[in-house]
């Protein structure tokens, strides 16, 4: 790690920064006399940049300078302070929006330059990461706040189906001839009840991983360009999505954190955990959604940004392709598990920062986009599952 000590010689604006005017309600004790509640509106400018990890507010003078400082070329500090307010420049350096050559901010900013992120996608991704969020707490607060008037609060939802013509004008299709695939699809019900008393068999665990993430072939299309053939599609055949695992109860596999190697079909141990530690991490990963915590295995599909952006450089659709890749992978986990009589889930309500820290991931390089899990469904249903056709639960 390089020193942040301020010995600026050359500086430049950071590579990616998005600024947004924000209006928020604040409470001020001193204003209690003026207005009854002490509440008042604060208008401020917020700056977001991938290398910052958290958003920062900027003054109007700083905002103006952000728009006037070069990002592609280094400028001499002495030249800048000759024409701009030095205090504002120093403040931007402290906020790591103005990068000092050779500083730790430079290292992080360089990493964001090298990764070829599309600017708006980068801002969206880094602004949506959570740390330490407890969604159950939020749910409780929401329910308390809205009481039984959730619909009053939300208003009516949009209709379930968009209809473009009158029913009589519809061209009705023949029914799909039933095959075992229909039965499989029917049995796929997001599981929120896992059996804590049983271990998942090693063979089943291995099958789900191989069918979803395993490489069936490695093809060198140009010197050094190796594409993987898997059971799921991936933009450009790049398969940039890694599988990181939190194993809790699998026969012959110690509880812990692992990385799955898709070519060797092998686990790479990262950290072993006690049962309590594993359960606590699981809870944190899924933002305290208690009904997912007991899944025998959590699989965290994690995009290796550089692998995708190597080809789709600064590309407006690249991030979308990463999220679509995760959709295919997660659904294949569902189907592979269901076919073996197991059950699965996915959640996007996850604490990305906690996951990155647990697995030792550099967020500028690799980002978890969801948490999936699978295991043995409990005999008793304590938590709600969406099974209107009684495909899994008889009552």
Stretch that binds ligand FMN, among 30-38, 193-201, 206-214, 341-349 (CB under 6 A): 341-349
Among 75, 186, 349, 391, binds ligand FMN (CB under 6 A): 349
By beta-carbon proximity to ligand FMN, the closer residue of 141 and 264 is 141
Among 103, 121, 289, 351, binds ligand FMN (CB under 6 A): 289
Contact 40, 31 (CB under 8 A): yes
Stretch that binds ligand FMN, among 95-103, 220-228, 258-266, 342-350 (CB under 6 A): 342-350
Backbone angles phi, psi at 31, to 5 degrees: -90, 0
User: For ligand FMN, how many residues bind (rule: CB under 6 A)?
Assistant: 8
Tokens of 193: 């009840």
Q: Does 190 bind ligand FMN (CB under 6 A)?
A: yes
Q: Does 248 bind ligand FMN (CB under 6 A)?
A: no
Stretch that binds ligand FMN, among 206-214, 250-258, 265-273, 340-348 (CB under 6 A): 340-348
> Could you give the residue ranges of the DSSP H alpha helices within the chain?
60-66, 77-83, 86-94, 104-114, 119-127, 135-146, 150-154, 180-187, 202-213, 275-285, 290-293, 305-311, 318-339, 352-359
Q: For the CB of residue 189, give the shortest distance to ligand FMN in the complex, in Å.
A: 4
Backbone angles phi, psi at 216, to 5 degrees: -90, -20
Q: Does 347 bind ligand FMN (CB under 6 A)?
A: yes
Residue keyed to tokens 């209709």: 159
Q: Which residues pair with 133 in a beta bridge?
A: none
Residue keyed to tokens 């990068």: 99
Other residues' Cβ atoms within 10 Å of the Cβ of residue 310: 15
The footprint of ligand FMN on residues 35-94 (CB under 6 A) is none
Q: Does 160 bind ligand FMN (CB under 6 A)?
A: no
By beta-carbon proximity to ligand FMN, the closer residue of 112 and 330 is 330
Q: Does 215 bind ligand FMN (CB under 6 A)?
A: no
Q: Does 193 bind ligand FMN (CB under 6 A)?
A: no
| CA 171 to chain centroid | 40
Helix and strand numbers, DSSP H then E, in the chain: 14, 15
Interface ranges with ligand FMN (CB under 6 A): 189-190, 289, 346-349, 386
């Amino acid at each position: 790690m390089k020193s942040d000590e301020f010995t600026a010689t050359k500086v430049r604006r950071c590579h990616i920064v998005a600024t947004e005017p924000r209006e928020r309600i604040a409470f001020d004790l001193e204003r209690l006399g003026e207005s009854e509640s002490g509440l008042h509106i604060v208008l401020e400018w917020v700056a977001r940049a991938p290398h910052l990890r958290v958003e920062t507010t900027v003054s109007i003078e700083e905002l103006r300078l952000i728009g006037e400082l070069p990002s592609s070329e280094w400028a001499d500090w002495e030249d800048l302070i000759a024409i701009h307010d030095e205090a504002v420049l120093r403040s931007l350096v402290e906020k790591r929006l103005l990068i000092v050559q050779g500083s730790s901010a430079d290292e992080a900013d360089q990493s964001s330059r090298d990764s070829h992120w599309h600017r708006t996608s980068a801002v969206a991704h880094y602004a949506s990461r959570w740390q330490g969020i407890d969604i159950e707490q939020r749910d409780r607060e929401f329910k308390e706040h809205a009481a039984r008037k959730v619909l009053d609060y939300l208003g009516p939802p949009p209709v379930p189906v968009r209809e473009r013509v009158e029913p009589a004008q519809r061209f009705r299709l023949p029914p799909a001839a039933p095959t075992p695939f229909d039965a499989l699809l029917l049995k796929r019900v997001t599981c929120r009840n896992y059996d804590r008393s049983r271990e998942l068999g090693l063979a089943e665990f291995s099958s789900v991983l191989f069918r979803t993430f395993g490489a069936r072939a490695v093809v060198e299309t140009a010197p050094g360009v190796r594409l993987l053939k898997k059971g799921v599609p991936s933009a450009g055949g790049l398969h940039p999505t890694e599988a990181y695992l939190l194993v809790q109860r699998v026969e012959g596999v110690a509880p812990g954190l692992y990385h799955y190697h898709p070519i060797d079909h092998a686990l790479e141990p990262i950290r072993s955990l006690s049962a309590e530690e594993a359960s606590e991490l699981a809870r944190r990963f899924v933002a305290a959604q208690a009904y997912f915590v007991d899944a025998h295995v959590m699989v965290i599909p994690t995009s290796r940004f550089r692998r995708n952006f190597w080809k789709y450089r600064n590309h407006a659709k690249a991030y979308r392709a990463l999220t679509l890749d995760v959709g295919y992978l997660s659904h294949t986990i569902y189907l592979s598990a269901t076919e073996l009589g197991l059950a699965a889930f996915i959640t996007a309500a996850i604490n990305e920062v906690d996951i990155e820290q647990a697995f030792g991931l550099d967020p500028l390089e690799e980002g978890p986009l969801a948490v999936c899990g699978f295991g043995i469904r409990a005999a008793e249903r304590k938590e709600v599952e969406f099974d209107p056709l009684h495909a899994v639960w008889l009552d």
